[in-house]
Chains A and B, each alone.
Chain A
Amino acid sequence: MKFTGTDRYVATDDLRMAVDAAVTLKRPLLIKGEPGTGKTMLAEEVAAALGLPLIAWHIKSTTKAQQGLYEYDAVSRLRDSQLGSDKVHDIGNYIRKGKLWEAFEAGGRCVLLIDEVDKADIEFPNDLLLELDRMEFHVYETGETVRATERPIVIITSNNEKELPDAFLRRCFFHFIKFPDRETMEDIVRVHFPDLKKNLVNEALEVFFDLREIPGLKKKPSTSELIDWLKLLLSDDLPDDILKNRDPTKAVPPLYGALLKNEQDVHLLEKLAFMARRESR
């Protein structure tokens, strides 16, 4: 099984190698990179390309590792016992399967996405070491052991908000998605908008990369923002030359709201435009 990207996702050589290595050696793949460079998309696309089901586990700051395995709902059981329900005798009725359990039981290979692992508590990755290594865990309440029939392809994303423990890193392959260069970006745009006119793409990319160059932007626009922006440009049916006739006095690009997500950034750009206007006078 080789991953070569899909018709909606452009994978660079290094990314392809990382995915191949993880798939072949059946180890988790840890993906880092700027927000909006397609980390989460990758798991979806890998699943689509290999024709496997995708099980996504989105991590929040309150997520515990245990929730990925199973949860024991003691509260319902206590209530049921007070109401005299018969269910109460089988503890299995109160065990809720987590995403990892689902993936282990999928019956065949599947792709498991653990999204934004850095959001959780610092100990979270450590609590999953054995489970990811052996792909099995023990259910304390019922005494059974859940074992993966086939090792799932595990893709883990991180936004670098917390350092991940070494022991966890050792068990993963690691890949850092760097911001795409101009050529890759053209490929990406082509994949999303195959009918877009060549010159519009060029102009748009120029505006986009110029914008990224401006020092002091709080949040630089990323790939996903570019795609959104192009969508807007298309749906708005702007005349072709609106991007071409760019003069420095109008530094704020049309429909900038899709590219800049921060009020201060928009102000910064307006200020720059104002300064450029004054200079040209």
Chain B
Amino acid sequence: MLLNFFDGLRKAGVPVSLQELLTLFSALDEGLAFASVDDFYLLARTCLVKDEKYYDRFDRAFALYFQELESLDQALEFLLPEEWLREEFRKHLSDEEKAQIETLGGLEKLIETFKERLAEQKAKHKGGNKWIGTGGTSPFGNAGYHPEGIRVGGKSENRRAVKVWEQREYRNLDDSVEIGTRNIKVALRRLRQFARAGAHEELDLDDTIRATAKNAGLLDLKMVPERHNAVKLLVFFDVGGSMDSHVKLSEELFSAVRTEFKHLEYYYFHNMLYEYVWQDNKLRHQERINTWDLLHKYGSDYKVIIVGDASMSPFEITAPGGSVDFFNEEPGAVWMKRLTDTYEKVVWLNPVKQNYWEYTHSIRLVSQLVQGRMYPLTLAGLEEAVRYLAR
């Protein structure tokens, strides 16, 4: 009764409720998708998914269900690393070789073996004929050839099992992915909403007239929130090395909403905040600005966003002289403390994937320094950060 499918969707993180499942049933009852798995796919997606950001998760769960992989748990937890499936080389098999490959028995057996091997296998694998990987002749993996294979992501080379849900076209719309050019617009809207927060109230003339008339002429004042932007923002970007591409993106992001904010100031730093920051990256050694001046110049009503990967040697945070650029009198931690003391709302946006954070010592340190207000540089992360800042 599709209950496994329903469970699978929920486990994959698609927010479906019983109501939607019942809708699907009544749609099936009306004969909207009869005896066609493609139609069923479209119908199920229409009924069950309410936001394009879940399309990708839906596709994955659907594919899994229809390969009769019932233990979604295992397979989803075993998320395949990207490079693992990159089609770097391809084994060109002759027809004879193809003919030689025997099938390994029925589908049941394949799935069982698949699970076993998933459990056994720990490393990336390419070629060969047993392990799951790319370009091999094992029945499991990607871009290989086996008459009865199970494919794990990637493109079907032999065009045996291309289905819409396997193309994963909606991958970019998932909100847990990093902010890119595709979803930058949505990110902008989040920021824009933030910019409008915190305004005062003013008299709503139209509504007042209407309410007064309704009141048979007795004055009834109505107020509305004033439409102007009160949010002041101070942004620090970590520049240099791995951060450059992220910084470019975030700069674009913030400059696009520049006009929306009452005040928006940028400063750059390298790895960690010390006594100097700079505003022009080309003149970083000539035109440095003392961080003390900043703390005094911008009042405590500013909200602070720091964009950085926070990946460095722990000494850069904890020890004087730890900076890689110059000799710093005081450790970065002290400067961070001063920042969080001056400003009530400080968030750190980190482009590093969130599941790596706990393995990097410096990220944990920085996260403590900003009182746990570190968010991933994804749409969801940005939204959360903005929600905190606006509170």
Q: Which A residues have a C-beta under 8 Å from some C-beta of B?
A: 13-14, 17-18, 20-21, 24-25, 27, 30, 32, 72, 74-75, 77-78, 160-162, 166, 169-170, 172-176, 178, 215-216
**The stretch of B39-47, B116-124, B145-153, B331-339 that contacts the partner chain:** B39-47
**The stretch of B17-25, B100-108, B304-312, B356-364 that contacts the partner chain:** B17-25
Cα–Cα distance between A4 and B55 once the two chains are bound (Å): 24
**The stretch of B75-83, B155-163, B210-218, B277-285 that contacts the partner chain:** B210-218
Quote the shortest CB–CB distance from B92 to chain A (angstroms).
Answer: 29
- Asked if B50 and A172 sit within 8 Å, CB to CB, the answer is yes
List the A side residues contacting B32 at CB < 8 Å. 17, 20-21, 24
Q: Does B37 count as interface, using CB distance less than 8 angstroms?
A: no
Given contacts A20-B32, A75-B210, A216-B181, contact A27 B50 (CB under 8 A): no
Cα–Cα distance between A162 and B192 once the two chains are bound (Å): 11
- Nearest chain A residue, comparing its CB with the CB of B40: A17
Of the residues A17, A75, A160, A169, contact of B46 by C-beta under 8 Å = A17
Quote the shortest CB–CB distance from A35 to chain B (angstroms).
Answer: 10
- Asked if A25 and B42 sit within 8 Å, CB to CB, the answer is no
Inter-chain pairs besides A14-B45, A172-B50, 8 sampled, C-beta below 8 Å: A13-B38, A17-B32, A17-B42, A25-B23, A25-B27, A27-B23, A74-B214, A78-B213
Q: Does B169 count as interface, using CB distance less than 8 angstroms?
A: yes
Q: Does B370 count as interface, using CB distance less than 8 angstroms?
A: no
- Asked if A170 and B50 sit within 8 Å, CB to CB, the answer is yes
Quote the shortest CB–CB distance from A58 to chain B (angstroms).
Answer: 19
Q: Does B33 count as interface, using CB distance less than 8 angstroms?
A: yes
Of the residues B46, B169, B216, contact of A21 by C-beta under 8 Å = B46
Chain B: interface size category:
35 or more
Quote the shortest CB–CB distance from B293 to chain A (angstroms).
Answer: 34
Given contacts A215-B181, A216-B181, contact A175 B46 (CB under 8 A): yes
List the B side residues contacting A75 at CB < 8 Å. 209-210, 213
- Nearest chain B residue, comparing its CB with the CB of A16: B42
- Asked if B23 and A18 sit within 8 Å, CB to CB, the answer is no
- Asked if B50 and A169 sit within 8 Å, CB to CB, the answer is yes
Cα–Cα distance between A215 and B181 once the two chains are bound (Å): 8
The B interface is mostly helix, strand or loop, or mixed, namely: helix
17 A/B residue pairs, CB under 8 Å, sorted by A? A17-B46, A18-B42, A18-B46, A21-B46, A24-B32, A27-B23, A30-B50, A75-B209, A75-B213, A78-B217, A162-B189, A162-B193, A170-B20, A173-B47, A175-B46, A176-B55, A178-B170
Cα–Cα distance between A18 and B46 once the two chains are bound (Å): 6
Cα–Cα distance between A172 and B48 once the two chains are bound (Å): 10
Cα–Cα distance between A160 and B45 once the two chains are bound (Å): 19
Given contacts A20-B32, A78-B213, A161-B189, contact A169 B51 (CB under 8 A): yes
Cα–Cα distance between A247 and B27 once the two chains are bound (Å): 53
- Asked if A74 and B210 sit within 8 Å, CB to CB, the answer is yes
Cα–Cα distance between A75 and B217 once the two chains are bound (Å): 9
List the B side residues contacting A24 at CB < 8 Å. 27, 30, 32
The 3 closest A-B pairs by CB, nearest first: A169-B50, A176-B52, A74-B213
Q: Does B205 count as interface, using CB distance less than 8 angstroms?
A: no
Question: Which residues of B in the span 166-187 have a Cβ within 8 Å of any Cβ on A?
Answer: 169-170, 173, 181, 186
Cα–Cα distance between A68 and B260 once the two chains are bound (Å): 31
- Nearest chain A residue, comparing its CB with the CB of B42: A17
- Asked if B46 and A174 sit within 8 Å, CB to CB, the answer is yes
- Asked if A178 and B169 sit within 8 Å, CB to CB, the answer is yes
Given contacts A17-B32, A25-B27, contact A174 B50 (CB under 8 A): yes
List the B side residues contacting A172 at CB < 8 Å. 50
Cα–Cα distance between A172 and B46 once the two chains are bound (Å): 9
- Asked if A14 and B42 sit within 8 Å, CB to CB, the answer is yes
Quote the shortest CB–CB distance from A225 to chain B (angstroms).
Answer: 17
Interface centre among A78, A172, A174 (most CB of B within 10 A): A174
- Asked if A170 and B17 sit within 8 Å, CB to CB, the answer is yes
- Nearest chain A residue, comparing its CB with the CB of B54: A174
List the A side residues contacting B46 at CB < 8 Å. 14, 17-18, 21, 173-175
Q: Does B26 count as interface, using CB distance less than 8 angstroms?
A: yes
Q: Does B63 count as interface, using CB distance less than 8 angstroms?
A: no
- Asked if B19 and A170 sit within 8 Å, CB to CB, the answer is yes
- Asked if B50 and A17 sit within 8 Å, CB to CB, the answer is no
Q: Does B49 count as interface, using CB distance less than 8 angstroms?
A: yes
Interface centre among B20, B47, B50 (most CB of A within 10 A): B50
- Asked if A32 and B181 sit within 8 Å, CB to CB, the answer is no
List the B side residues contacting A169 at CB < 8 Å. 50-51
Cα–Cα distance between A176 and B174 once the two chains are bound (Å): 13
- Nearest chain B residue, comparing its CB with the CB of A20: B32
Question: Which residues of B in the span 355-389 have a Cβ within 8 Å of any Cβ on A?
Answer: none
Quote the shortest CB–CB distance from B380 to chain A (angstroms).
Answer: 12
- Nearest chain B residue, comparing its CB with the CB of A77: B213
List the B side residues contacting A216 at CB < 8 Å. 181
- Nearest chain B residue, comparing its CB with the CB of A216: B181
List the B side residues contacting A17 at CB < 8 Å. 32-33, 39, 42-43, 46
Cα–Cα distance between A172 and B216 once the two chains are bound (Å): 41
List the B side residues contacting A13 at CB < 8 Å. 38, 42
List the A side residues contacting B193 at CB < 8 Å. 162
- Nearest chain B residue, comparing its CB with the CB of A161: B189
List the B side residues contacting A72 at CB < 8 Å. 214
Cα–Cα distance between A174 and B50 once the two chains are bound (Å): 5
Cα–Cα distance between A166 and B43 once the two chains are bound (Å): 20
Quote the shortest CB–CB distance from B25 to chain A (angstroms).
Answer: 11
- Nearest chain B residue, comparing its CB with the CB of A78: B213
Cα–Cα distance between A166 and B45 once the two chains are bound (Å): 16
Quote the shortest CB–CB distance from B310 to chain A (angstroms).
Answer: 28
- Asked if A160 and B47 sit within 8 Å, CB to CB, the answer is no
- Nearest chain A residue, comparing its CB with the CB of B27: A21
Quote the shortest CB–CB distance from B62 to chain A (angstroms).
Answer: 13
Cα–Cα distance between A80 and B76 once the two chains are bound (Å): 69
List the B side residues contacting A173 at CB < 8 Å. 23, 46-47
Cα–Cα distance between A127 and B216 once the two chains are bound (Å): 27
Cα–Cα distance between A166 and B51 once the two chains are bound (Å): 10
